[in-house]
Amino acid sequence: MTRDILILCAAGMLVSAYLMVGQRALFTAIRLYGAQSLLLGIVAATMALSEGRHDLFVTAALTIMLKTILIPWFLMRVIDRIGIHREIEPFLNVPASLLVCLGLTVVGYRVSTGFPAAAGDVSHHLIGVALSMLLIGLFLMVTRKKAITQILALLTVENAVFLVAVGVTSGMPLIVELGISFDVILAVLLLGILVHRIVDRFESMDVSRLSNLKG
């Protein structure tokens, strides 16, 4: 039962990453990120129940509160304020992007086979999903032009790292995890402020326009 829930949630996270790649509406992309974080929270809560590690409940609660509610709300507010709702044509079109992501998933799973078998097949799946998400996040980051999409890509990478932390190590020490969450929130806040300033200045949030500094 636990195994099924974990694998289902992990699969859901991977699907949400794929949907994000295929998505042009920014609001939907943010909601997808929220859903992805909710699934991460469920993974953490399930691990906490099945392994009796109560630290992980704090992680789960923190993940759901911050990444499912607070960060998406903040990003949506930023979008509302600046009034830009759609991603423009990415550097690589959607079908080609999805094909690349398929390849990245294969790579992620291939690397995950090197992890020790003793960790069990659930954590094998979790690592496979996490590494794939990491690569997809990096891919999103280099092919998209909107500042908000780049933030979402960064957050996807960060979710992938947390999935490894929860899935493989059953959680980092609590105080470290609190510190990391605090830093992530602060980073998103600063990125939001920068997006604001960029839009004010350039009347656009295409980061491809930020290309005056070379050499």
Residue ranges binding another protein (CB under 8 A): 111, 114-116, 118-119, 134, 138, 141, 147, 150, 154, 157-158, 160-161, 164-165, 168-169, 172-173, 175-176, 179-180, 183, 186-187, 190-191, 194, 197-198, 201-202, 207, 210-213, 215
- Alpha-carbon gap, residue 59 to 45, rounded angstroms: 8
Least distance between another protein and beta carbon 165 (Å): 5
Closest to another protein by CB, 1 vs 118, is 118
To the nearest 5 percent, what fractions of the chain are helix, strand and coil?
A: 80, 0, 15
> Measured between alpha carbons, how far is 68 from 190 in angstroms, rounded to an integer?
19
Q: Are 76 and 25 in contact (CB under 8 A)?
A: no
Min. distance of Cβ 179 from another protein in angstroms?
Answer: 4
Q: How many CB atoms lie within 10 A of CB 122?
A: 19
For residues 99 and 210, which CB has a smaller minimum distance to another protein in the complex? 210
CB distance 143 to 23 below 8 Å: no
* Residue 67 vs 95, nearer CB to another protein: 67
List the structure tokens of 108: 């992620």
Q: Interhelix angle for 174-202 vs 55-63, to 10°?
A: 10
Question: Which residue number, 39 or 154, has a Cβ lying nearer to another protein?
Answer: 154
Helices (H) and strands (E) in the chain, counts: 8, 0
Of residues 4 and 209, the one with the C-beta less far from another protein = 209
Q: Encoding tokens for residue 97?
A: 């992007």
Shortest distance, position 54 Cβ to another protein, whole Å? 12
Nearer to another protein, 95 or 122 (CB): 122
Q: To the nearest whole angstrom, how small is the minimum distance from the Cβ of residue 175 to another protein?
A: 6
Query: Smallest distance from the beta carbon of 137 to another protein, in angstroms?
Result: 8
Q: Give the sign of the dihedral formed by CA 96, CA 101, CA 102, CA 104.
A: positive
What is the nearest approach in angstroms of another protein to the Cβ of residue 130?
9
- Could you give the C-alpha distances from 130 to 6, 107, 133, in angstroms and in order? 13, 11, 5
